């Protein structure tokens, strides 16, 4: 049965490649990166296995480090249906939970990420001057380690997919995602100091000992045990890895079993019993504005951003967190205005460059109902202002307090506002020309490169704006420079928004087709 599901996975992968150049490029690039990156990482592993000394500890740390993204991936990208083989499709067939899990696992092993992991872990196979037994043991460890990474990741994904249906789960995921990004960034910032600290330790030191008892660290330690001829130690460490695989698969099968029992229905019913008011769409902060299509679209957008989609809230939270760190560190030498502009640039892209991304097929309703699409686009484009302006102002105030530069607050806020305005304009064009449905993972591979290109284009334009700011501030005061550039940004944004709206009204079917291919 595992082979049947593996063949299904391969067939789906062939279809998912698509016929567009972007999709083909993404598919090829991901496999090349997985293969070449894995080979390079495997060479490093081979050197560490051959070298001994501090290399032993680094090997254990590396095995733990590669395992980390497999575990935290589901927190950042939570979904049960991963665009590969959806477990829901298997429920109608007479398969045990174990058969489903092993089949899904076999399919999940055919991926660039799994290839990278396997090649990294099998570096010991090509280590210099090692006997065949050690090479064979390294291969066995690499296989078990790869299976463990995939199994743990998929079971965590399945567990989280259920938990994230609740509001509390959504909030928790957003909080965890922001902490995670912050943690990874801070770790990267401290990497040099961490490496220096590791230089004084061996694999039998405190860190090495602790890591060796964790499942990924045990895999690294097993390779070292084989090299040193400590075969009892090898069996013990490999046993930890095997046990983890079994536990992960059992947890995965348990989650699939719970779905059959309908455990999540109770949660849904509990949520549904609260009474709703007749007009619940518009949030209190927008109720003072005249009711119309623009306000309605802004309300729907904010509701989707903050209350209805775990992925949306994560996507919104992570960039500002990274923006704080980048602006606070990399832009510290360029002044408060540049820091605030950098923070604003990183914050605006997530909520503005794919305005219909969370609507998905709902966009078809807008076309079907004859909605005034220009007004809808304007409402959706302006909705992020509601959280971006307070965010930018708070950042400028906090950073100025840290720097002790109160006189720079107003120009900094204007710099941030200029970037936000420009981002809203460019984002509206991106949303009309390159929309993609965020709820369907497998179908937006090709659009990833285009989205990246739009981000880079926007950052370039913002950078040019920064150059203009630098020149103008040499000729006049920062405040006047800020006022002038804010006005210019609003004019540019308005023009782009107007053009995008006209284009959308002229031909909404292109956008509809990309968001809801069924309408073809």
| Residues sharing a CB contact under 8 Å with residue 488, sequence separation 6 or more, in sequence order | 418
Q: Are 161 and 82 in contact (CB under 8 A)?
A: no
Closest CA to 7 of 118, 152, 110: 110
**Smallest distance, other proteins to C-beta of residue 489, A:** 29
Options 297, 322, 485, 489; binder of other proteins; rule CB under 8 A = 297
The smaller minimum CB distance to other proteins, of residues 335 and 508, is found at: 508
Query: Looking at 128-136, 193-201, 207-215, 276-284, which segment touches other proteins (CB under 8 A)?
Result: 276-284
With CA atoms as reference, report the closest residue to 142 among 44, 30, 238, 240.
238
**Closer of 299 and 400 to other proteins (Cβ):** 299
Residue partners of 23: CB distance under 8 A and separation at least 6: 16, 17, 445, 446
CB of 199 to other proteins, least distance (A): 51
* 399 CB-near residues (< 8 Å, 6+ apart): 327, 328, 336, 339, 340, 412
**Among 237, 282, 444, 503, interactor with other proteins by CB under 8 A:** 282
Q: What would the two tokens of residue 291 be?
A: 């009711």
| DSSP structural state of residue 140 | H
- In the complex with other proteins, the residue whose CB is nearer, 175 or 509, is 509
Closest separation in Å from C-beta 181 to other proteins: 25
For the CB of residue 441, give the shortest distance to other proteins in the complex, in Å.
Answer: 17
268: closest CA among 165, 170, 159, 158? Answer: 165
By CB under 8 A, tell whether 272 contacts other proteins. Answer: yes
- Taking residues 367 to 406 in sequence order and writing x for each that binds other proteins by CB under 8 A, - otherwise, the string is xxxxxx---x------------------------------
Q: Using CB under 8 A, which of 4, 197, 281, 402 touches other proteins? A: 281
C-beta contacts of 85-91 below 8 A and 24+ residues apart: 85/5, 85/8, 85/9, 85/12, 87/158, 87/256, 87/259, 88/259, 90/5, 91/259, 91/260
Nearer to other proteins, 196 or 279 (CB): 279
Residue from the set 296, 410, 483, 488 that interacts with other proteins by CB under 8 A: 296
Contact status: 93 vs other proteins (CB under 8 A): no
Q: Select from 115, 155, 157, 299 the one that contacts other proteins (CB under 8 A).
A: 299
Smallest distance from other proteins to CB 294, Å: 9
Contact assessment for residue 305 and residue 316, using Cβ atoms and an 8 Å cutoff? yes
CA angle 366, 369, 370 (to 5 degrees): 85
Interface segment toward other proteins; rule CB under 8 A; list 37-45, 71-79, 357-365, 418-426: 357-365
Residue 24 tokens read as 């083909």
In whole angstroms, the minimum distance from the beta carbon of 280 to other proteins comes to: 5
Near other proteins by CB under 8 A, which window of 10-18, 25-33, 115-123, 272-280?
Answer: 272-280
Site membership for other proteins, residue 283 (CB under 8 A): no
Tell whether residue 262 is a contact of other proteins (CB under 8 A).
no
Q: How far is 79 from 76, CA to CA, in rounded Å?
A: 10
In the complex, what is the shortest distance from the CB of residue 319 to other proteins, in angstroms, rounded to a whole number?
A: 22
For residue 94, state whether it binds other proteins (rule: CB under 8 A).
Answer: no
Cα–Cα nearest to 115, from 153, 155, 149, 83: 149
The angle at the Cα of 210, spanning 143 to 173, to the nearest 5 degrees, equals: 75
Concatenate the DSSP letters of all residues of 65-118 into one string. HHHHHHHHHHHHS--SS-SS--HHHHTTS---HHHHHHHHHHHHTSSHHHHHHH
Taking CB under 8 A as the criterion, the residue among 254, 361, 492, 494 binding other proteins is 361
Interface contacts to other proteins, rule CB under 8 A: 268, 271-282, 291-293, 295-297, 299-300, 303-304, 308-309, 358-362, 364-372, 376, 509, 516, 519
């Amino acid at each position: 049965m595992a082979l049947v599901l593996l063949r299904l996975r391969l067939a789906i992968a062939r279809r998912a490649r698509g016929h567009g150049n972007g999709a083909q490029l993404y598919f090829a690039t991901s496999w090349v990166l997985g293969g070449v990156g894995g080979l390079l990482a495997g060479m490093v592993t081979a050197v560490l296995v051959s070298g001994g000394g501090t290399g032993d500890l680094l090997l254990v740390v590396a095995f733990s480090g590669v395992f980390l993204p497999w575990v935290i991936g589901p927190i950042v990208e939570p979904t049960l249906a991963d665009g590969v083989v959806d477990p829901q499709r298997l429920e109608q067939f007479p398969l045990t939970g174990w058969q489903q899990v092993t089949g899904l696992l076999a399919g999940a092993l055919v991926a660039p990420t799994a290839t990278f992991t396997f090649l990294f872990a099998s570096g010991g196979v090509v280590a210099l001057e090692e006997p065949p037994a050690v090479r064979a043991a390294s291969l066995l460890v690499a296989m078990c380690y790869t299976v463990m990474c995939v199994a743990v990741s998929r079971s965590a994904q399945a567990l989280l997919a259920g938990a994230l249906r609740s509001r509390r789960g959504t909030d928790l995921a957003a909080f965890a995602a922001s902490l995670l990004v912050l943690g990874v960034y801070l770790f990267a910032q401290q990497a040099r100091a961490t490496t220096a600290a590791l230089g004084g330790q061996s694999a039998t030191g405190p860190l090495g000992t602790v890591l060796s008892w964790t499942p990924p660290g045990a895999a690294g330690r097993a390779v070292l045990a084989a090299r040193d001829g400590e075969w009892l130690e090898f069996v013990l460490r490999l046993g930890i890895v095997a046990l983890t695989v079994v536990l992960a698969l059992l947890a995965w099968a348990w989650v699939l079993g719970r779905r059959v029992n309908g455990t999540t229905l109770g949660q849904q019913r509990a949520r549904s019993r609260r009474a709703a008011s007749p007009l619940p769409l518009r949030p209190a902060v927008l109720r003072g504005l005249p009711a119309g299509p623009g306000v309605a679209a802004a309300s729907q957008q904010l509701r989707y951003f903050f209350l209805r989609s775990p992925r949306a809230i994560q996507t919104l939270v992570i960039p500002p967190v990274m923006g704080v760190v980048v602006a606070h560190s990399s832009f510290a030498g360029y002044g408060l205005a540049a820091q605030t502009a950098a923070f604003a640039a990183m914050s605006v892209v997530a909520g503005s460059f794919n305005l219909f991304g969370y609507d998905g097929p709902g966009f078809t309703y807008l076309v079907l109902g004859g909605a005034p699409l220009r007004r809808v686009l304007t409402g959706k484009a302006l909705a992020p202002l509601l959280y971006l302006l307070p965010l930018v102002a708070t950042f400028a105030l906090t950073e100025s307090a840290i720097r002790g530069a109160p006189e720079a607050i107003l120009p900094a806020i204007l710099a941030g506002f200029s970037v936000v305005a420009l981002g809203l304009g460019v984002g509206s064009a991106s949303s009309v020309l390159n929309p993609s449905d965020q709820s369907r993972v497998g179908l937006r591979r090709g659009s990833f490169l285009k989205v990246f290109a739009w981000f880079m284009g926007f950052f370039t334009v913002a950078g040019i704006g920064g150059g203009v700011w630098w020149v103008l501030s040499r000729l006049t005061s920062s405040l006047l420079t800020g006022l002038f550039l804010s006005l210019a940004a609003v004019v540019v944004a308005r023009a782009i928004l107007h053009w995008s709206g006209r284009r959308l009204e002229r031909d909404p079917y292109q956008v509809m087709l990309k968001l809801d291919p069924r309408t073809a």
